[in-house]
Amino acid sequence: MSFLDEIPWNKEGLITAIAQDASTGRILMVAFMNREALEETVKTKQAVYWSRSRKRLWRKGEESGHVQRLVELRLDCDADAVLLKVEQAGGIACHTGRESCFFRKLEDGRWVTTDPVLKDPSVIYKS
Amino acid sequence: MSFLDEIPWNKEGLITAIAQDASTGRILMVAFMNREALEETVKTKQAVYWSRSRKRLWRKGEESGHVQRLVELRLDCDADAVLLKVEQAGGIACHTGRESCFFRKLEDGRWVTTDPVLKDPSVIYKS
């Protein structure tokens, strides 16, 4: 019995995956994993997600270099979400070049961007 | 234009919602919100989710008293997840009586329960 068998994969075969910076506790991003992605994440100690838009495994950092080294993996009570504590290479998790994907905050009824772009995406994603 | 209109609700009309303890940074739980739940959360400053199993609004703490006071609300880059920083009443977010729903950790290929039950669920949920 593998730890993978204890997960009731949803009808798309996925589970929600949250990445949290292991040192600061900041939530970096939310994505999905399928069985293969979670297995490879544990095996390689690097975060691998399932890209729903590209319909393929997404080895986080494969283009940007912003890989996430797995420090700890947790499962929630109903086993429909995993929490990855990670070391974020480059200190940038978001494709916009920001530390975290949660860079907008609700202030007086409006979403306000509170976080700076640390690196221009055109530099991160060289074509 | 409301902040609610900027969210591309999924086909079930939901968005993923993550609750994080505002003081410790610990991830407490993951659930879903529909438009009404998010609107009420912002209005009342208390977390309201959508219960998919019960198909109704779930005012967190309505039975247990373990309400979550909203401190900060954030939205991610593709607007399919919100992050709530909360003050967790009673220090218990999970229906199992634990601080966090993420009480299992992967150790040597097995999910191991690492967190204590702080209060017996039969005491929390008096019938």
Distance from CA of A121 to the nearest CA of B (A): 14
Q: Which residues of A touch B107 (CB under 8 A)?
A: none
Tell me which residue in A16, A75, A102 faces B74 most closely, judged by beta carbons: A102
Model pLDDT, residue A105: 98
- Are B8 and B80 in contact by the 8 Å Cβ rule? The answer is yes
Alpha carbon distance B94, B103 (integer Å): 9
Amino acid identity for residue A58 in this structure: W
Q: What is the mean pLDDT of residues B55-74?
A: 96
What pLDDT digit, counting tens, does each position of A60-82 carry? 999 999 999 999 999 999 999 99
Most confident of A62-66, B1-5, B36-40: B36-40
Q: Find chain B residues with C-beta within 8 A of A80's C-beta.
A: 30
Nearest CA in chain B to A30: B81
Query: What is the ipTM for the molecules in this complex?
Result: 0.95
Whole-number pLDDT of residue B125: 87
Q: Do A73 and B101 touch (CB under 8 A)?
A: no
Which of A42, A77, A107 to mutate to probe the B interface, most B CBs <10 Å?
Answer: A77
Per-residue model confidence (pLDDT) at position A127 = 57
From residue B111, give the alpha-carbon distance in Å to each of A84, A106, B106: 14, 36, 5
A3-26 confidence digits (pLDDT tens): 999 999 999 999 999 999 999 999
- Answer whether residue B127 shows pLDDT above 60: no
Q: With contacts defined as CB-CB under 8 Å, which chain B residues touch A29?
A: 76
Name the pTM for this structure.
0.96
| Confidence at residue B1, expressed as pLDDT on a 0 to 100 scale | 74
Interface residues of B toward A, Cβ cutoff 8 Å, are: 2-3, 6, 16, 18, 20, 24-27, 29-30, 42, 72-78, 80-81, 83, 94-96, 98, 101-106, 109-111
